[in-house]
Amino acid sequence: MDHQPRPGVRPKKSQRDRLIRLAAAHPDWALGFADEVWWSRVAPPAVRAWTATGQPLRLVERAVATGERKALACYGLLLGTGAAATAPALWLLFVDGRPVSGVTTAYLAWCCAKLAAVGKTALLLVWDNASWHVSREVGDWIAAHNRRVKAGEAAVRIVVCPLPVKSPWLNPIEPKWTHGKRRVVEPARLLTTDELETRVYDALGADHAAHLTMPQHAA
């Protein structure tokens, strides 16, 4: 039986669970679950709500003016076991554009700087196999970053744990997105981009931060 192929979910889940145990045993390490999400201004989320009999609640999909943004993208890192108690549980950064490799490395650098500020020495990073996670640019950046840590030029080493394909249940940040979209929905009017962003930060209990910008070559 050992020669037969086996599904990859169990070994990768075991790797994730091992990182969780390692983070719990090392108070100077941080366990982070990362993901990206789009927040739509026009498409209503899947919700259920009580209404009077015969009076269904309807969320109408709205239109935006030409040139306006229909949706906002943001990066998120959910800090798990081993993160500083004084640090926010969820770190968000919105993107002036879309998730790409160059934006991903900027987000990782931002997270490492924040972790270094609270005394962390390692980020055990759990995320999926999105193209901007597994790209050569991101892999090379992480390798170069870890070399700088070894040389004493940076403080927080990054250890990546990729999740199996199509296994969102293994990433606890996913329910944050689902419930957040239901909390920020506005049935009466179209939210501005600033209003939507503010609602997202408030709904998820995250601190406001400056936007990430798209690199020139990815625009």
Could you tell me the CATH number of the domain that includes residue 139? Answer: 3.30.420.10
Whether 196 maps to a domain, the answer reads yes
Residue 11 falls inside a structural domain: no
The three-state secondary structure class of 143 is: helix
Specify whether the CB–CB gap between 156 and 122 falls below 8 A.
yes
Sign for the pseudo-dihedral over CA of 183, 187, 190, 195: negative
* 62 belongs to a structural domain: no
In a domain, 202, yes or no: yes
pLDDT of residue 57: 60
Q: How many CA atoms lie within 13 A of 78 on its CB side?
A: 17
Q: Provide the pLDDT for residue 166.
A: 82
121 found inside a domain? yes
Residue ranges of alpha helices (H) inside the chain are 9-25, 101-117, 131-134, 136-150, 174-184, 193-204
Asked if 47 and 141 count as a contact pair (C-beta separation under 8 A), the reply is: no
- The candidate with the shortest Cα–Cα distance to 70, out of 107, 102, 44, is 44
**CA 37 – CA 60 distance, rounded (Å):** 22
Q: Which domain holds residue 75?
A: 21-41+70-214
Say how far apart CA 91 and CA 35 lie, in whole Å.
11
Each residue's pLDDT, cut to its tens digit, for the chain (219 residues) gives: 444 444 555 666 677 777 778 777 788 999 999 999 999 988 777 666 555 666 666 656 667 766 788 999 999 999 974 444 445 489 999 999 999 999 999 999 999 999 999 999 999 999 999 999 999 999 999 999 999 999 999 999 999 999 988 888 889 999 999 999 999 988 788 999 999 999 999 999 999 999 999 887 664
| Count: domains in the chain | 1
Instruction: Compute how many other C-beta atoms are within 10 angstroms of the C-beta atom of residue 93.
Output: 20
Q: 90: part of which helix (H) or strand (E)? A: strand 90-96
Asked if residue 9 is part of any domain, the answer here is no
**Would you give the end-to-end CA distance of the chain in angstroms?**
50
Asked if 113 and 69 touch (Cβ cutoff 8 Å), the reply is no
The pLDDT of residue 85 is 44
Domain membership of residue 95 (yes or no) is yes
Residue 46 falls inside a structural domain: no
